[in-house]
Amino acid sequence: MKIGIIYHNDFKKYDFGPGHPLRGYCFNDELGFSLVKNNPEINEKAEISFIEPTPVGDEEILAVHTEEYLEFIKGLNKEGGYLTPDTPVLNGMYDTAKLFAGADILAGQMVMDNTVDKSLVFGMIGHHAGADFGGGFCLINDIAVMIKVMQRDYNLKKIMAIDYSINAGHGTSSIFYDTSEVLCIDIHQDPLTLYPGTGFSEQVGRGDGTGYTVNIPLPPLTRDESFVSVLKEIVAPITREYKPELIVAVGLSNGHYSQQMNQFMLTLKSVKETVGECSQLSDELCSGRFVHIGGFSVEPDLLPQSFLSTVAGTVNVAVECDKPHSIPENIPDVTEDVNAMIENIRAIQKNYWKVF
């Protein structure tokens, strides 16, 4: 199995400055790269290449974002300012955002051209940026840019984008809300308890896209077993019925119990299991065409093991990847709440998917 890992040292320039949780070091994972390169189980099963991307041009970005929004971002990129209160734009950050989008496109191209079997981008996920808005640390939606290029250059009519970051990717879902050519599945913490305050199970798409947005909001304190059950009971059945030509997984370890910006109680097992399920579904349904985007962490100590778990899931090998943290004791069990949400989602989605 050939695996392409897309990374550029300039990713570290995506830095919002002192006092902000997203700093350049969140993309610095030399130790994680070393763990992967020196892991015998991974290297026995996969031939891994590290590839540097180049920035994308404005033409591709304009396939997703409005001209007015892009000009606004360019102005902030030059002069500085705030896109939203949580998203300051420092000089040159748009240039780095274009590099992230270029990395995603390269990952997709390498998979579609059979240069590699699967590819991973260790970079940003701009899933909070919509056609004419940004925020949540996101300037442009690099994921949507990549999907649009794959549709244009490879005539793909069925792409599945699964987002397992703890925050709903409302930018991505808004961009593809009206189309059946992109199935957006999003697993996240209950939007009543976390930014961006949207991504409810009743939001299922519009027009031709009705039924092709699947929101899976889970309660705070959700644990690995419940998270994985969602993959088996909702994600996999819908994916099999949809039969995508390409699977794009988007996520990070920000559902980990050690993270301060969420209330999930996950370990890195959930990352490995999610990536592994998606990778195996791609083997089953679309000749192994699988791209994973994301992987940075606001907790530097978590970065190496998080990256290792992502690669291990992709190639389906067992590794120990949840040190040095210890999960807190006496955490309430919310399994029944998760099961109730699963039944609620199945009841909603049976209107659109025969499998239910």
Which of helix, strand or coil describes residue 187?
strand
pLDDT tens across 73-130, in order?
999 999 999 999 999 999 899 999 999 999 999 999 999 999 999 999 999 999 999 9
Neighbours of 155 (CB within 10 A): 8
CATH number for the domain harbouring residue 235: 3.40.800.20
- Domain-located, residue 308: yes
Residues of the chain falling short of pLDDT 50: none
Q: If we measure between CA atoms, which residue out of 324, 325, 256, 326 comes closest to residue 295?
A: 256
- 243 φ/ψ angles, rounded to the nearest 5 degrees: 55, 65
CB 246 within 8 A of CB 111: yes
- Domain-located, residue 152: yes
The predicted pLDDT at position 325 comes to 59
- Write down the pTM of the prediction: 0.96
- Domain-located, residue 354: no
CB 5 within 8 A of CB 122: yes
What value, to the nearest 5°, has the Cα angle with vertex 68 and ends 64 and 73? Answer: 80
The predicted pLDDT at position 324 comes to 53
Residue 204 to residue 199: CA distance in whole angstroms: 9
- Domain-located, residue 12: yes
Contacts of 87 (CB under 8 A, 6+ apart): 16, 134, 135, 136, 137, 138, 139
- Domain-located, residue 356: no
Domain that holds residue 301: 2-349
- How many structural domains comprise the chain? 1
- Domain-located, residue 325: yes
Give the tokens for residue 164: 């397992």
- Domain-located, residue 300: yes
